[in-house]
A and B are shown apart, each in its own frame.
Chain A
Amino acid sequence: MDGRTFFRTFRDGGDKNGMTELVRLTDVTKVYQGGITGALNGVSVAVEKGEFTAIMGPSGSGKSTMLNLVAGVDRPTSGSVVVGGTELGQLGETGLARFRRDHIGFVFQFFYLLPNLTALENVLIPAQLKGNPASGRARELMERLGIIDIASRYAARLSGGQQQRVAIARALINKPTLLLADEPTGALDTRSGEQVMELLSELHRDGQTILLVTHDAKLATRHAARVLSVIDGKIVDDARLESPELAASDVIRVRGEEASR
């Protein structure tokens, strides 16, 4: 690599199509106050820019804890969390808040919209915190997520699927480097859940890096090419799934009893 290539790589954070590391956890542990065992027990993992990664594991295994540490919502007991080249441990509270605002979009199972604000107002909150007049982008996003028609309705009056799409628009308003989704389909029926996952997939196709926690292996493997399995605060498997061209008979065989007599 010559000097110029290096400079460009450095400045752009890497080749657009090549792999660039966006998140790195190194030996991360988390012990909550009063916790008997650690919620995370030595997690090391890296996520590339543009990846769609699913995190799966039983209840209480540490999935949300992992997302919270990556989001800078919480700090690890030991180990380091680096996101976009920034070591989060080096940031003070103000720095961490700014990091979250500028780089992280977070979507939750129960949406957490402000019920007395309209859908559009909810979407605009993070932009206002940043001092950004972003109503153009908000409308664009809402158009794209199919919720422009409900922009002026109060959040409390929306269906679960609509609320989740508003929450996704809100998470995206500041063009986050990283979109974190913790069970975003957990409170939705199958159909709305699938629609929300389709949306995430579309965002991923446009280059969005996504870390998704889900209990639904069907949805995880449909949309994410990488599945991390977490058990007892440890990553026990890191599966990178393939997408080969396959004939139906390579995947399914319907077989009856052999005709007798």
Chain B
Amino acid sequence: MHELSVTQSILDIVLQHANQAHASKVTNIYLVIGDLSTIVDDSVQFYWDIISKDTIAVDAKLQFRRIHTQFECLDCYKQYQPDGDSILCPHCGSAHIKVLSGEEFYLEAIDIEK
């Protein structure tokens, strides 16, 4: 839902690094996004097409690497992906859980042309 401000932040970071490297063009942007962060790829792309106009990143492809939510039960030591109805351990019902992945939210790299 807040993809506009998120997309603006992505563009700011991309342009800052592209300019530092004296790029003439940005061709790819690699994003790593965990499922717990509730960002929708399509709407980021939608805003991207609007706000990147008139910048050197206008033709860049947004490459999303989604990271699934992965929990580990600290009582029975099994790993699982929560199914959306309950986040408790499906094996033993425990609420004693470690979050292994799913909270990622970063820009990994960009490809540029000089």
Do A and B assemble together? no
Mark B residues whose CB is within 8 Å of A. none
Mark A residues whose CB is within 8 Å of B. none
